[in-house]
């Protein structure tokens, strides 16, 4: 494609990538402010859309000016798609900025345990406590500790919004790694990326890394954002080693699996993927390299697990292995998730048809099979739950393949067929934009978190006034315990997780309720079927609901966040105090 063949240095491409994201973020902030100035949500969307459309036209005209005002087929179609992607990224920031900057860690189930791990670290306590305390969680601690360290460097170690900004930084790092991998894949098929394609890849990969289907939590306090970085780095290591055969990339392949295990247990699978790729597609001697790299990564991963056992004993095994190991995989649910994520499967399969050919076909096929195996395993394990975030890394690498294939497949002018060339370009442009919607990456500039959430957080904070933090049990949310380094027991996320797998020991909680240990308790769904301490679908009741009713009484209720009644952690809260003897 002629539009992409612009000489540029890697540093200029890096600056352009960062600049285009910063510009889209700034545009999103402005769009959000414009929408907030009107009382009508529909009018706010229209005003934001008008602002974004004006910006898109300005970007398109700038692109034409850079290309010497040549209104060629490839130049025009490329400019339209790039401007449209920029508008969608700006819309994402307009819609999700409120979530990112929200001060309470209650937006998803993992946020409160994420912050609780940080509190344990700050307080010098073991990261994995006794199971009956219900104050630990099922993930390894790499993401919370690194996030806390980076936020602390900016003097914001107690800021939940700062921690979420760090998650976005992880996303940006994954995007940069993905751009480099896409450039390598595209280079294998004799197409240089160039500065224009780098800009488009930046926007496309950011949208894939934050899509609402398989990567909905990467801007929140969850392990997924750092997991994207690990998987993008792992995939890049394979691609780079195939090109250069430098020993440093082999070292990276040994180190990445244990690093991934520290972020999320399932990411240790990369030691298998590295070993298999080196065995079947790596340079000779294949057996030796495959064994050294695969076994080396596995040995380090097992060593880290052994270190966890040494530091935290059986508590570590219980939280990170036993609890998750009790989850049953539903094959039917996994199949449904695979169908739901059809666009990412289609992107990877189509890229294979476009790129895997010629002299480099064997190398490209090896990379593609690594992605295929990873995505297949993720799809199967997603059958554990009803969410598709297990498939996040695989879908992101599928987007890398899609990005790499675009320069090869983009329409170019055909001599003597001017109108047919324009017709093909128009169809390609429309398909590209519609396919982004299939990736579940189209976002309206509408705030995802209602403004009423501020009232909700303030009401919770008032319930702590005049009481020591450890005398108040808030079922979910640790931001109020963070300044005092209080590790509160009996939290709903570990209770719900352990109760669902029937591995929980509720005797400690039941005893504390009978002793009326807490001066005040704030819980959601106390009388509802989704009470996280005694879920209606559990085969055996925990007895927590009955103990709570026998020893505490509801004195008032904090209303749910208006418009978010379907979000579990934003529902109405019952405020309970001990019954009088």
pLDDT digit string (tens) for the chain, length 581 residues? 544 444 455 677 788 888 889 999 999 999 888 877 776 777 778 888 888 888 888 888 888 887 777 777 778 888 899 999 999 999 999 999 999 999 999 999 999 999 999 999 999 999 999 999 999 998 999 999 999 999 999 999 999 999 999 999 999 999 999 999 999 998 843 444 478 899 999 999 999 999 999 999 999 999 999 999 999 999 999 999 998 999 999 999 999 999 999 999 999 999 999 999 999 998 888 899 999 999 999 999 999 999 999 999 999 999 998 877 777 788 999 999 999 999 999 999 999 999 999 888 999 999 999 999 999 999 999 988 888 999 999 999 999 999 999 998 887 776 667 778 888 888 888 999 999 999 999 888 888 999 999 999 999 999 999 999 999 999 999 999 999 999 999 999 999 988 888 888 899 999 999 999 999 999 999 999 999 999 988 888 999 999 999 999 999 999 999 988 778 899 999 999 999 87
Partners of 556 in beta bridges: 575
d(CA 91, CA 28): 6
d(CA 253, CA 73): 43
Q: Are residues 59 and 89 in the same domain?
A: yes
Q: Are residues 438 and 491 in the same domain?
A: no
Q: Are residues 223 and 331 in the same domain?
A: yes
> Given this model, what pLDDT does residue 39 score?
66
For tokens 């630990």, name the residue: 136
Q: Are residues 466 and 439 in the same domain?
A: no
> Given this model, what pLDDT does residue 85 score?
94
Contact 262, 255 (CB under 8 A): no
**CB atoms < 10 A from the CB of 325, how many?**
12
Q: Are residues 1 and 69 in the same domain?
A: yes
Q: Hey, is 571 helix, strand or coil?
A: coil
d(CA 190, CA 411): 16
Give 443-460 as a DSSP string: --SS-SS-THHHHHHHHH
Is 495 domain-assigned?
yes
d(CA 414, CA 179): 29
Q: Are residues 495 and 463 in the same domain?
A: yes
d(CA 77, CA 379): 34
Beta-carbon contacts of 166 under 8 Å, excluding residues fewer than 6 positions away, are: 147, 150, 151
Q: Are residues 357 and 478 in the same domain?
A: no
Among 106, 37, 99, 35, residue whose Cα is nearest residue 448: 99
> Given this model, what pLDDT does residue 8 score?
52
> Given this model, what pLDDT does residue 268 score?
95
Angle CA(320)–CA(566)–CA(557) in degrees, nearest 5?
95
| Boundaries of domain holding 82 | 1-102+411-449
Q: What is the DSSP letter of 68?
A: T
Q: Which of 381, 409, 437 is the last residue of a domain?
A: 409
Q: Hey, is 554 helix, strand or coil?
A: strand
Q: Which of 449, 473, 505 is the last residue of a domain?
A: 449
Is 321 domain-assigned?
yes
The C-alpha R_g of the chain, in whole angstroms, comes to 25
The token pair that represents 438 in the structure block:
């299939």
**With helix as H, strand as E and coil as C, how does 347-366 read?**
HHHHHHHHHCCHHHHHHHHH
Is 312 domain-assigned?
yes
> Given this model, what pLDDT does residue 165 score?
98
Q: Are residues 230 and 354 in the same domain?
A: yes
Is 198 domain-assigned?
no
Q: Which of 449, 470, 500 is the last residue of a domain?
A: 449
Strand blocks (E) in 496-572: 520-524, 552-558
Is 289 domain-assigned?
yes
Q: Hey, is 388 helix, strand or coil?
A: coil
Q: Are residues 344 and 387 in the same domain?
A: yes
Axis-axis angle for helices 418-438, 73-100 (nearest 10):
20
> What is the number of structural domains in the chain?
3
d(CA 22, CA 459): 34
Q: Are residues 422 and 462 in the same domain?
A: no
d(CA 280, CA 461): 58
Q: Is 406 exposed, middle or buried (0-12, 13-18, 19+ CB in 10 A)?
A: buried
Give 287-342 as a DSSP string: HHHHHHHHHHHHHHHHHHHHHHHHHHTHHHHIIIIIHHHTPPP-HHHHHHHHHHTH
> Given this model, what pLDDT does residue 11 score?
74
Contact 300, 255 (CB under 8 A): yes
Among 153, 150, 133, residue whose Cα is nearest residue 142: 150
d(CA 435, CA 438): 5
> Given this model, what pLDDT does residue 106 score?
97
* Phi-psi domain of 517 (left: phi exceeds 0; alpha: psi -120 through 50; beta: other): alpha
Q: Are residues 382 and 525 in the same domain?
A: no
Is 149 domain-assigned?
no
Contact 239, 230 (CB under 8 A): no
d(CA 292, CA 573): 54
Q: Is 91 exposed, middle or buried (0-12, 13-18, 19+ CB in 10 A)?
A: buried
Question: What spatial distance separates the first Cα and last Cα of the chain, rounded to whole Å?
Answer: 80
**CB atoms < 10 A from the CB of 473, how many?**
22
Q: Are residues 371 and 500 in the same domain?
A: no
The token pair that represents 546 in the structure block:
């009955």
Is 135 domain-assigned?
no
Residues in the chain: 581
Contact 133, 486 (CB under 8 A): no
Is 115 domain-assigned?
no
The token pair that represents 569 in the structure block:
């952690």
Among 451, 538, 462, residue whose Cα is nearest residue 32: 451
Q: Kindly report whether the global pTM for this prediction surpasses the value 0.85.
A: yes
Please report which helix (H) or strand (E) contains residue 472, including its range.
strand 472-474
């Amino acid at each position: 494609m002629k539009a992409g063949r612009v000489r540029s240095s890697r540093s200029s491409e890096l600056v352009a990538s960062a600049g285009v994201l910063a510009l889209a973020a700034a545009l999103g902030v402005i769009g959000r402010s414009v929408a907030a100035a009107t009382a009508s949500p529909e009018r706010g969307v229209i005003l934001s859309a008008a602002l974004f459309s004006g910006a898109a036209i300005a970007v398109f005209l700038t692109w034409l000016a850079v290309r010497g005002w040549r209104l060629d087929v490839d130049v025009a179609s490329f400019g339209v798609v790039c401007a449209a992607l920029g508008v969608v990224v700006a819309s994402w920031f307009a819609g999700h900025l409120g979530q990112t900057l929200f001060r309470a860690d209650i937006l998803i189930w993992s946020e409160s345990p994420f912050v609780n791990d940080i509190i344990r670290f700050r307080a010098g306590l073991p990261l994995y406590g006794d199971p009956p305390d219900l104050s630990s969680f099922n993930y390894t601690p790499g993401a919370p500790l690194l996030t806390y360290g980076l936020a602390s460097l900016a003097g914001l170690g107690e800021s939940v919004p700062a921690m979420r900004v760090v998650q976005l930084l992880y996303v940006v790092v994954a995007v940069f790694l993905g751009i480099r991998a896409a450039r390598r894949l595209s280079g294998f098929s004799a197409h240089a990326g160039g500065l224009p394609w780098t800009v488009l890849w930046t926007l496309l990969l950011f949208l894939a890394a934050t899509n609402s289907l398989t990567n909905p939590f990467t801007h929140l306090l969850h392990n997924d954002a750092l997991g994207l970085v690990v998987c993008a780095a792992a995939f890049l290591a394979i691609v780079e080693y195939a090109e250069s055969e430098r020993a440093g990339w082999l070292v990276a392949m040994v180190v990445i699996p244990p690093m991934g295990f520290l972020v999320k247990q399932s990411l240790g699978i990369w030691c298998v993927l590295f070993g298999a790729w080196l065995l079947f597609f790596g340079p000779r001697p294949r057996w030796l390299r495959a064994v050294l790299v695969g076994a080396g990564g596995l040995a380090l991963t097992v060593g880290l697990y052994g270190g966890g056992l040494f530091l935290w004993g059986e508590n570590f095994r219980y939280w990170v292995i036993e609890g998750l190991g009790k989850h049953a995989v539903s094959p039917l649910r996994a199949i449904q998730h695979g169908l739901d994520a059809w666009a990412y499967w289609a992107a990877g399969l189509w890229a294979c048809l476009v790129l895997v050919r010629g002299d480099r076909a064997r190398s490209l096929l090896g990379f593609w099979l690594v992605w295929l195996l990873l995505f297949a395993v993720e799809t199967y394990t997603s059958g554990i739950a009803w969410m598709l975030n297990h498939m996040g890394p695989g879908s992101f690498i599928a987007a890398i393949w899609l990005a790499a294939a675009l320069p090869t497949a983009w329409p170019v002018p055909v001599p003597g067929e001017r109108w047919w060339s324009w017709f093909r370009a128009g169809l390609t442009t429309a398909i590209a934009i519609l396919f982004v919607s299939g990736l579940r990456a189209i976002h309206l500039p509408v705030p995802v978190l209602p403004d009423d959430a501020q009232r909700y957080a303030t009401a919770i904070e008032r319930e702590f006034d005049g009481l020591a933090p450890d005398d108040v049990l808030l079922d979910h949310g640790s931001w109020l315990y963070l300044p005092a380094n209080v590790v509160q027991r009996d939290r709903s996320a570990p209770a719900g997780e352990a109760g669902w797998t029937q591995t929980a020991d509720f005797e400690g909680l039941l005893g504390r309720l009978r002793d009326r240990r807490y001066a005040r308790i704030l819980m959601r769904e106390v009388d509802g079927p989704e009470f996280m301490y005694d879920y209606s679908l559990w085969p055996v009741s925990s007895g927590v609901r009955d103990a709570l009713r026998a020893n505490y009484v509801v004195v008032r209720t904090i209303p749910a966040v208006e418009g978010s009644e379907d979000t579990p952690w934003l529902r109405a809260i019952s405020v309970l105090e001990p019954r009088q003897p």
